[in-house]
Amino acid sequence: MTSLDGFVVELAQALEDVSDPSTKEWWERYLRRDAQFRGVKMADTRRIVNALVKRHDLGESEASGYLQLAHECFAQPFSEDKLAGVLLLAEHGLATLRIEHADALAQPWRTASVHTGTCVIGTASRHSVLSSQWGLTLNPGLAQLHHG
């Protein structure tokens, strides 16, 4: 069994275990039912991701492992699962990413929500690896990646 096996299944179960129907309803009303939610608060999602990264010993994983897990998270129907993918990349896997991963990073946005993509761009813009290697520039309301 690799460290990646079972991660997404455990993630879904842990998120479901702490979900709150009133939080779910609030988010779904706020976004006019354009996105599905479990009803998990950000702090709980972050705590669960951190615990699973530790449990699965992902700390020294290569970028491909983080990208695979993030893609699997992005493919899930619930926003919290997608957010977990963002947290995996932004808070655990970002330092492992290189310019050759640009295509893999762009691919999941077809399945991830606009809200999820905004989180990654916002985090990536503050990270020196992406800023220096990818020439990340931010315009008001628009982020552009280019290799400079």
pLDDT, tens digit (0-9, with 9 covering 90-100), for 122-131: 444 444 444 4
To which residue do tokens 């993509």 refer?
117
d(CA 71, CA 23): 25
Residues 49/87, Cβ–Cβ less than 8 Å: yes
Residue with the two structure tokens 């299944």: 9
Which pLDDT score, from 0 to 100, does residue 77 have?
94
Tokens 């520039």, located at residue: 137
Distance of CA 113 to the CA centre of its chain: 11
Mean of per-residue pLDDT scores for the chain: 77
Q: In whole angstroms, give the CA distance from residue 56 to residue 59.
A: 9
> May I ask the CATH architecture of the domain 7-144?
Alpha Horseshoe (1.25)
Q: How confident is the model at residue 148 (pLDDT cuts 50, 70, 90)?
A: very low
Give 35-59 pLDDT, tens digit per residue.
999 999 999 999 999 999 999 988 7
Number of Cβ atoms within 10 Å of the Cβ of 33: 10
Indicate whether 136 pLDDT > 60: no
